[in-house]
Structure 1
Amino acid sequence: MRTKIIATLGPASSDRDAILGLVRAGARIFRLNFSHGGREGFERLVAIIRELEQETGETLSILQDLSGPKIRTCDIGLGTLEVTKDTEILLGAPGQEEGRDEMFICLDQPEILRSLKPGEVVALSDGMLRFKVAERLGELLVRMVAVNAGIAPPRKGISFPGKDISLEAVTAKDRADLKVGLELGVDMVAISYVQEAEDVARLKSLMREYGRTLPVVSKLERPKAIRNLDRIIEESDGIMVARGDLGLECDLPTLPSLQKRIIRACNHAGKPVIVATQMLLSMVSSPMPTRAETTDVANAILDGADCIMLSEETAIGRYPVETVRYMGEIAAQAEAYFFEEARPVAPAYEDQTAKFLAYAACMLADKSRSRAIVCHSRSGATARILSACRPRQPIHALSADRRTRHFTQLSWGVIPAEPPTDEENHQERCERYIREHQAFQEGDSVILTAGQPTNKRQLQTQTNVVKVYEK
């Protein structure tokens, strides 16, 4: 299986046996959701993953997911409100409910209220309950009318579809959580509610202050992020199509085309892209997914997703291991269909030599029916470009940098590996790896790529060698 599976850890998958089950089922990346839990719990999970990494010999990567500026309703002691269609209800800052008999919903970030206008939409409870702003009653108070019936519990997410909300992407909680994650040794960090490239740059600057820089995955959840897509992809190391909040903030019928456009842009840029939210949601309580869910997962893979992510399914679901196994089976079938006619994907931009060199390696592997492609890369960039070409052959990505190996785990078809260290020459490292690895049999043809110095003064160079090697 070339598509990577990300499993979110939670109460249903918090002990060693449960996580080992996820690994055996096919999960290679584990998401720690810092919206829930504390340092002690995350420290224990990281220790388990590192222990299993040593035990299984697999590269297991850890993704820290920062909470970001999630907008929620407050808990002011009114309990869950039952709302019927056309009900009038107030939305305001804490304290505005005093002396009023009308139904009231409190907002935990009341500064947003200043910009709300009559006719704008407000969505609660994952978009299941919607209101329209009827009138402004004050600087921090508006009257809304319910578009449909539903319930409004306290401490639930609230969104404003189609409206740009100016909030700092990295909150005070995120800064504290980031410090914890870096100390625990996570491999990459996901930043929530990115709206512009500067949000990513500020997170990277904060990492430098903390003394350790990691790859950053930008979660696209707001309309402004779509408008700034190219710059965000350029600044980020990876992208997540976070369909939960993106589906609330944008018109829902546009979500499938947005997903496809984001994936295509990431593939062209050679950046790994994750599709997340409600992939196999019915398996939270059912041992089997729905037909629509299996089709959704397969289509995300056929669109070009590098990773597919499970959230509630593995964090709180009754069948976490079965869900990962089912997702792996769907991925295998989608990949088999993809390869019925597919050939390596040519680069979209003609002025990038590295991309055409990678494409040439993939075409050579295809025409020579080689067993695999082996590349040597310090940064992992070559592996990611090879992955974007979608070759039929697995890509063994050699890097002496542990951080690089864990991040290349996100790329489609890439098998991270540590190279032989007693060979200084990158090409010779690749050849020795092929000779010693059990995946290759005598007589196998393997395509290798490496960066070879062209004169004695060069200490390192970009990939400039493509070679057919026969074991």
Structure 2
Amino acid sequence: MKTISPAEINELYTTLYDLRQDVLDKGNKMYASIAPQIERPSFRFSALNLAYYLAIRCHDLRPLQEKLLPLGLSSLGRSEARTMANLDAVIASLGRICQKPQEELIAYPSRRWFFHGNRLLSHNANLIFGNHANIDFTNIMVTMPTEAATDYKLVRSLVRAGMDMARINCAHDDQDVWKSMLKNIHKAEKETGRRCKIYMDLAGPKVRIEQVLVPGDTDRVLTDETFFLARNKISDYPEDYTGNIVITCSIPQVFNNLQVGDPVVIDDGKLNCTVTEITPQGAYLRVISTKVKGFRLKNKKSLNFPQTPLDVAPLTKKDLKDLDFIIPNANAIGYSFVRNKDDIILLQEELKKRLGDKARRMAIIAKIETRDSVSNLPEIIVQAASHNPFGVMIARGDLAVEAGYHRLAELQEEILWICEAAHVPVIWATQVLENLVKTGIPSRAEITDAAMSERAECVMLNKGPYIVKAVVSLADIVQRMEQHQHKKAPQLRILHIAEDTLKQFE
């Protein structure tokens, strides 16, 4: 096998040294532009690291990684939380392998500096989810069902089983129900001695089917059939339309930018359509795919327009009213349909109106559920984390619908990378242990998904009849996985199968 020559190692050193200078130049330039807006001192280091990480990810590092591995050096594949420190450590070792003069060598980063980003991430997670003796602990969030307002034993069982944060979805129930939920949660905290933080989700501008008219004999549509989306009222459809069904949507502003060829996704992907014609009264939609037996169109089913810009403010009148209840009662606010930094500014301004300077203490959780929010994630992070404790929820359901299921895993990785680079905690959400929650029996695939969720700082479970069992199972899964892996890094504890195997040869 061919060995690596001294000339190749020197060439690799020069390449890495040039890369380092490029990362410093671009990263420092980005940081200089955002530094003036940073109010939270703890975010300054994180913002700088994020800038360096974005700069290094502008390069295709794969050829370098392949050359570093045979030398026993880091492949730069786990540098999110410590981009420059990791790069410096590699160059410091490579310089010594090359026997560079002492005056040219880069010093190794101190151990404290090397792991500073990891400590910041743990600190930021603790601000939102509460303190844990084990800094690598993965928190568990549970969506409160309506019965949590009246069934105290259920709430107590959830807290005792390992629920670290209770999620109250303001799209459902009302303030009286929320008050009762909160009363039960706080009572359970006192009785169990376990702290449970409160997360309240703003409903946001949900786009749903508002009305359904069935001129024909069925409300079911099949692949290749056409139906009509009326612009305003149900009566606003062409008189010569002979199709089976007419629907309206709750937010007619979608027509401001809707174009022929745009996809329309209904009920989280169960019905996929495309716009074939737009008229003054609305739009014709042709079914591209659905179940073999067709799909029944009903009120309140979700509508998504993945490629259509929506001129809709992320804060509705209901959200503004709910904010007045959330602020004194919640530890964190869930913010739906965040697209860019302007949406974050809008919420921060509303918080400041109500809280003044104390607004900076309120934690904000941005739900990343569109392609725009993924593309704009760095600017969303900078705007939010510069002023507030901040976290990100990967809303995998809507994200899969908006971006396509085939891209979900890729986008999820990108979100995890960028958030770790900014030391921003992540919530892993949507359909976690869904079969277990609903039926009491998990699928094999969702157990693996739950194990992978250990890479996030929090995992969210949705409501269901077996939710307590699911919390117990999830707590066991993530605690076991934490012995094996933290983020992307394997934790190489003693592998008992290795011990047992070697004993056979003693």
- Identify which range, 55-64 or 99-108, moves more after superposition: 99-108
CA distance in 2, matches of 1:78, 1:205: 44
Q: Report if the CA contact (8 A) 1:129-1:151 is conserved.
A: no
Q: Provide the secondary structure at the position in 1 that maps to 2:450.
A: helix
1:419-430 to 2 correspondences below 5 Å: none
Q: Which residue of 1 aligns with 2:282?
A: 141
Distance 1:59 1:258 in 2: 33
Aligned residue for 2:460? 309
Q: CA deviation at 1:299?
A: 1.5
> Is 1:154 aligned to 2:296, yes or no?
no
Q: 1:164 offset after TM fit, Å?
A: 2.8
Change in Cα spacing, 1:343 to 1:137, as seen in structure 2 (3 Å) is closer
Q: Which residue of 1 aligns with 2:333?
A: 189
Q: Which residue of 2 is the match for residue 109 of structure 1?
A: 251
What secondary structure is seen at the aligned counterpart in 2 of 1:193? coil
Q: How does 1:232-271 map to 2 (within 5 A)?
A: 232-236=380-384, 237-271=390-424
| Post-superposition CA distance 1:46-89 (Å, at most 9, x none) | 11112222232322100010111111111256598211111111
Check the 8 A contact 1:92/1:113 in 2, yes or no. no
**Structure 2 unaligned spans of 5+:** 1-133, 385-389, 494-506
2:236 corresponds to which residue?
Answer: 96
TM-score, structure 1 length as denominator? 0.68
How far apart, CA to CA, are the structure 2 residues paired with 1:267 and 1:54? 34
Is residue 253–residue 311 contact of structure 2 (8 Å, CA) maintained in 1? no
How far does the alpha carbon of each residue in 1:333-372 deviate from its partner, in whole angstroms, 9 at most, with x for none? 221221699589xxxxxxxxxxxxxxxxxxxxx9xxxxxx
Q: CA separation in 2, counterparts of 1:166 and 1:296? A: 35
CA–CA separation in structure 2 for the residues paired with 1:87 and 1:20: 50
Specify the code of the residue in structure 2 equivalent to 1:245: D
Q: Deviations over 1:404-443 (max 9, x none)?
A: xxxxxxxxxxxxxxxxxxxxxxxxxxxxxxxxxxxxxxxx
Structure having the larger proportion of residues in strand = 1
Matched, 1:334 2:470: no
Aligned to 1:29: 165
Asked whether the 8 Å contact 1:12–1:320 carries over to 2, the reply is no
* 2:408 matches 1:285: no
Q: CA separation in 2, counterparts of 1:274 and 1:39?
A: 25
Determine if contact 2:213/2:246 at 8 Å carries over to the other structure.
no
Q: Distance in 2 between matches of 1:339 and 1:231?
A: 26
Alignment partners' CA distance in 1, 2:321 and 2:486: 45
How far does residue 11 in structure 1 lie from its aligned partner after superposition?
3.1
Secondary structure at 2:378 match in 1: helix
* Structure 1 residue ranges, 4+ long, deviating more than 6 angstroms after superposition: none
Rounded to whole Å, the distance in 1 between the matches of 2:405 and 2:248 is 26
Contact 2:368-2:394 within 8 A present in 1 as well: yes
**In 2, Cα distance between the equivalents of 1:81 and 1:308?**
38
Secondary structure of 1:289's match? coil
The corresponding residue for 1:86 is: 224
Query: What TM-score, normalized to structure 2?
Result: 0.63
Kept after mapping to 2: 8 A contact 1:71/1:108: yes
- The one-letter amino acid paired with 2:288 is V
Kindly tell me the number of residue pairs found equivalent between the two proteins: 337
Question: Alpha-carbon deviation of 1:263?
Answer: 1.2
Find the aligned partners of 1:343 and 1:295 in 2 and give their Cα distance. Answer: 16
Report the AA paired with residue 144 of structure 2.
Answer: L
Q: Distance in 2 between matches of 1:292 and 1:166?
A: 38
Judge conservation of contact 1:163–1:249 (CA < 8 Å) in 2. Answer: no
- After superposition, the Cα gap between the structure-2 partners of 1:123 and 1:191, relative to the gap in structure 1 and judged at 3 Å, is same
Equivalent of residue 180 in structure 1, options 307, 318, 325: 325
Relative distance call for 1:271 and 1:81 in structure 2 (3 A) is same
Q: Which residue of 2 aligns with 1:468?
A: none
Q: Where do 1:159-238 residues align within 5 Å? A: 159-183=304-328, 185-211=329-355, 213=359, 214-236=362-384, 237-238=390-391
Note if contact 1:136-1:142 (Cα within 8 Å) is conserved in structure 2.
yes
Matched AA of 1:329 = D
CA distance in 1, matches of 2:376, 2:316: 21
1:131 is matched with 273
Tell me the secondary structure at the aligned position of residue 270 of structure 1: coil
The Cα of 1:203 is off from its aligned counterpart by 0.7
- The answer to whether 1:40 aligns with 2:190 is no
Structure 1 stretches of 5 or more lacking a match?
Answer: 345-365, 367-471
Q: Alpha carbons of 1:120 and 1:343: their partners in 2 closer, same or farther (altered >3 Å)?
A: closer
Change (3 A) 1:343 1:257: closer
Matching residue's letter, 1:90:
F
1:50 aligned onto 2:186: yes
* SS of residue paired to 2:484: helix
Question: What residue number does 2:138 align with?
Answer: 3
Q: Is the 8 A contact 1:239 1:274 kept in 2?
A: yes
The higher radius of gyration belongs to 2
Structure 1 SS opposite 2:286:
strand
Question: Is the 1:64–1:190 Cα contact (8 Å) retained in structure 2?
Answer: yes
Distance of aligned partners of 1:54 and 1:244 in 2 relative to their CA distance in 1, 3 Å threshold: same
Is 1:274 paired with 2:427? yes
Match of 1:363 in 2: none
Amino acid at match of 1:222: T
Distance in 1 (alpha carbons) for counterparts of 2:169 and 2:364:
15
The residue identity in structure 1 corresponding to 2:276 is A
Query: What percent identity do the matched residue pairs reach?
Result: 28
Cα separation, 1, equivalents of 2:299 and 2:214: 8
Q: CA deviation at 1:190?
A: 0.6
State the match for 1:320 in structure 2. 467
Q: CA deviation at 1:27?
A: 0.7
Contact 1:124-1:158 within 8 A present in 2 as well = yes
Q: Deviations over 1:12-70 (max 9, x none)?
A: 54421101111111111000000101000001111111222223232210001011111
**Matches of residues 429-468 of structure 1 in structure 2 within 5 Å?**
none
Contact 2:369–2:398 under 8 Å retained in 1: yes
